[in-house]
Amino acid sequence: MTSVNPKDNAADLTVLGIETSCDETAAAVVRGPHGRQILSNTIRSQIDEHTEFGGVVPEIAARAHIDILDRIVAEAMQEADCGWDDIDAVAATAGPGLIGGVIVGFMTAKAIAMAANKPIVGVNHLEGHALTARLTHDLDFPFLLLLVSGGHSQFLLVRGVGDYERLGTTIDDAIGEAFDKTAKLLGLPYPGGPHVEKMAAAGDPLRFKLPRPLLDRAGLDMSFAGLKTALRTQAKKLEPVDDQTVSDLCAGFQRAVSDVLAARTKSALDLFKQRHPDVEPVIVVAGGVAANAEIRSSLLTAAAEAGARFIAPPMRLCTDNAAMIAWAGIERLCEGPVDDMALSPRPRWPLDARQAGILGAGRKGAKV
């Protein structure tokens, strides 16, 4: 197998990335670290396959990845105008995620790497999100990351590639999960986040008094299950609910989430400034929930009030994509030895492996 000299930064690397951790089948070709070019970024969503079930069905997701991944990789290579001789390495999500989908993507990447005689890089999906801002912005380490997605809600101190400290996380539902569950109990379609935001635009966020969980406690942990339960209680009291009530409930829910995130962001930035008094404070927001305009606005305000720089990658790079996986592969290749064919996909893979999973662990590893 050919090798990449991680210490030779004279020339950029061109890496094929593959992402299949949930319900997007994606492939991309990225060049860096100096040029920082996304040569292609092909994504095929599976929303249509899962809508009738009100959520992602792992078996359907894995089968859909199998059916289309080869074509997505071919499209990404064609759009990038690259042949296999132009590719220096193959990077793919090796976890965490729905294990069936992760296996499809990572085994495909292994096969390509072996056939094309290229190094393989197994990327932590969360690290892809964490490092995306270094692809899109001029950003040095360390910085503060707020990862808000369907499966994860965490504050992380990012000191370097592979060096992460979890400062706070959700003790129950992730924010994206809470949005989806709220949409479902209000009879809104899947995926819930965009529909809750749309209904909230016509609602009164002050009509219902909804809780801001854990804000009376120190630390950076968050909780959203109780907020969702409070909303359900209000909805049950008023059954059958009309459209305006649904809008008001959505607006109240969205405002409560925004308030919690803004308050925790200020606290996280205070902690960052204590830890790194000589470094410009930067808060990076990544993950699909960053698409929500009110949440984004509240975080921008919180950062400004804390005197911090706010960075949110373009929306196409906040949701799951393969460009972030290819870029994380480049960052890894520039740091040290690459992986080998013995690396196995895993359903759980916390960025901060030093901390026990707050939701527990098992044979598969820490859950968070």
With bands split at pLDDT 50, 70 and 90, how would you rate the model's confidence at 9?
low
Tell me if the domain spanning 141-312 has CATH number 3.30.530.20: no
Q: With 60 as the cut, is the pLDDT of residue 16 above it?
A: yes
Percent of the chain whose pLDDT exceeds 70: 93
pLDDT at 353: 76
Percent of the chain whose pLDDT exceeds 90: 78
pLDDT at 356: 53
pLDDT at 191: 87
Q: With 60 as the cut, is the pLDDT of residue 368 above it?
A: no
Cis link prior to 345 (omega < 30° from 0)? no
- What is the average pLDDT value for the chain, to the nearest integer? 91
Whether the domain at 13-132+319-366 and the domain at 141-312 fall into the same CATH topology: yes
pLDDT at 2: 40
pLDDT at 336: 77
CB-based contacts of 5: which residues, under 8 Å, 6+ apart? none
- For the domain with range 13-132+319-366, which CATH number is right: 2.30.30.90, 3.30.420.40, 3.40.50.2300, 3.40.50.970? 3.30.420.40
Residues constituting the chain = 368
Average the pLDDT over 82-109 and give the result. Answer: 96
* Residue 208 Rama label (left phi>0; alpha psi -120 to 50; beta): beta
Q: With 80 as the cut, is the pLDDT of residue 73 above it?
A: yes
Task: Count other Cβ atoms within 10 Å, centred on residue 239.
Answer: 7
Give burial (CB, 10 Å; 0-12/13-18/19+) of 36. Answer: middle
Digit-coded pLDDT (tens) for 256-272:
999 999 999 999 999 99
The SS3 of residue 286 is strand
Q: How far apart are CA 193 and CA 291, in angstroms?
A: 9
The crossing angle, in degrees rounded to 10, of helices 125-136 and 323-333 is: 90
Digit-coded pLDDT (tens) for 309-365:
999 999 899 889 999 999 999 999 998 777 788 889 999 888 887 765 555 444 444
CA distances from 68 to 101, 150, 271, 287, 346 (A): 12, 23, 45, 24, 22
Q: With 60 as the cut, is the pLDDT of residue 8 above it?
A: no
With bands split at pLDDT 50, 70 and 90, how would you rate the model's confidence at 151?
confident
Structural domain boundaries in the chain: 13-132+319-366, 141-312
Digit-coded pLDDT (tens) for 104-148:
999 999 999 999 999 999 999 999 999 999 999 989 999 999 999
What tokens appear for 331 in the block? Answer: 């960052």
Q: How far apart are CA 208 and CA 338, in angstroms?
A: 53
Q: With 90 as the cut, is the pLDDT of residue 290 above it?
A: no
Task: Count other Cβ atoms within 10 Å, centred on residue 92.
Answer: 30
